[in-house]
Amino acid sequence: MRSPGRLATISLLICSSFVLASLERLIPNPFPMIRFGLGNIMTLAAFALFGIEAGIWVTGGRVVLVALIWGGMLSPTAVLSIAGGAASLLAMIAVMSIRGRFSLFGVSVAGAYAHVAAQIAVASVLYVRSLDLFRILPVLGGIGLLTGILNGAVAQILVEKMEGRLDQHGGSREPGVRIR
Amino acid sequence: MHGIIRKGPTLVDGMLVVMLFALTLLLSSLMRPSAPGSVLEVKTQAGEERLSLDREGRYPVSGPLGTAYIIVEDRMARLENAPCPLKICERMGPVGASGQTILCLPNRISVRVLGKVSVDAVSR
C-alpha cells in the first residue's frame, strides 16, 4: 500500500538526509577524510519505519542531491560517494536480513564500516593503483565504529518519536517492519 | 507485529562492534609505519616521474585543474598551491616514510614515497 502519508514522510527523510549531509560539509573539518555520516541517520530511520526499499531511496536520493547541488556529478568525489553509499546499503541490508537480531546500532555500524572500506578500495583501484591507501583503514574504520554507534543511537530515538506520530495519523506506515 | 529491527543496542550489535574493532586492531598491527623512504614516485595524467627526497626544492606538477607544487624539505614531501577545491592533498602531507601517499583526486595527482630504490636518470 503506497499511501500519500508514506510517500510524504519518505520524501521528508530524503530532504533531511540531504540537509544533514550538507551541514556536515559546511562544518570546518581539519580532516576531510573523516566524516560523521549524519545523512545515514535518515536512511536508518527509513529502514526502521518503512522497510528496506525506503532506505535505498533515502541513500540514493541523498547521493544524487549532494552531487547535483554541490557539483561534480561524475567527478572522483561523486564516484567515491556512490561507491560508499552502495556498499553501506548492501552491508546494512545484509545485517537486517539476519532477522530480529540486530538493532539500528548494528545496522548503522555495519553501514559505516562498509562505507569506509569501499571508498578506500575504490580509490585504491581507480585512482592510486596501489594498496597504500589501506594503511588508513584502521584509523577511518575505528572512527567509523564510533560514528556508527552514535548515528544508530540518534536514529533509534528519532524512530521512536516518529513511530508514535505516524501511528496517530494512521495508515501512513507499512506494517511488518518496526522496532519492538 | 513481527519486526526485523529490534530495539537496541542488542547483544548481537555488541558482537558486531567487537568483531569489527578486532579487525581494525589486526589491520593496524599489520601496517606498522615503515622505514624512511628515499624516492618520490609522482603520477600525473601526463605520466610518471621520480624525484629524490634528498634534493630539496619546489617541483611543479600539473593536472586537469592546474599546477600544484611538490615541496621537498628535510626528506619530507608535501603539496602546496593545489588548485583543487577542498585541498585535501595539502593536508595529507608532509610524507616521508616508505609507502606513504599524497593523493589529489580532483587534479589526478598521486605522490608516493618509495623505499630504497635506485634513483635512475629520471631524478634531477
Quick one: average pLDDT of A24-52?
88
Dump pLDDT digits (tens) for A87-102.
999 999 999 988 778 9
Overall fold of domain B39-114:
mini-chromosome maintenance (MCM) complex, domain 2 (2.60.320)
Tell me the torsion sign for CA atoms A48, A49, A50, A54: negative
pLDDT of A170: 55
In the predicted model, is pLDDT for residue A118 greater than 50?
yes
Interchain pair A96, B5: CB under 8 A:
yes
Phi-psi region of B74 (alpha: psi -120 to 50; beta: other; left: phi over 0): left
Give the cell for residue A77.
568525489
**pLDDT confidence tier of residue A141, bands split at 50, 70 and 90:** very high
Subunit contact A177:B21, Cβ cutoff 8 A: no
Rounded to the nearest 10 degrees, how much is the dihedral formed by the CA atoms of A155, A157, A158, A163? 120
Q: What is the pLDDT of residue A157?
A: 94
| More confident of the two residues A165 and A79 | A79
Res B1: pLDDT: 24
Phi-psi region of A13 (alpha: psi -120 to 50; beta: other; left: phi over 0): alpha
Per the prediction, chain B carries an average pLDDT of 82
- Predicted pLDDT at B118: 44
Structural domain boundaries in chain A? 4-169
* Confidence at residue A169, expressed as pLDDT on a 0 to 100 scale: 63
Contact criterion met (CB below 8 Å) for B70 and A15: no
Q: Select the residue from B1, B5, B30, B112 to test the A interface by mutation, using most A Cβ atoms within 10 A.
A: B5
Chain B residue numbers with beta carbons less than 8 Å from the beta carbon of A149 are 9, 17
- Nearest CA to A75 out of A63, A87, A86 is that of A63
* DSSP three-state, residue A149: helix
Query: Which residues of chain B fall below pLDDT 70?
Result: 1-3, 32-34, 116-124
Q: What is the pLDDT of residue A146?
A: 95
pTM (global) more than 0.90: no
pLDDT for the residue numbered A41:
96
Question: According to the model, what pLDDT value does residue B84 have?
Answer: 86
Closest A-chain CA to B114: A132
DSSP string, A72-125: -TTSHHHHHHHHHHHHHHHHHHHHHHSTTT-BHHHHHHHHHHHHHHHHHHHHII
- Taking CB atoms and an 8 Å limit, are A130 and B10 in contact across chains? no
Domain ranges of chain B: 39-114
What fold characterizes domain A4-169? Arp2/3 complex 21 kDa subunit ARPC3 (1.10.1760)
Note whether A141 contacts B3, CB cutoff 8 Å. Answer: no
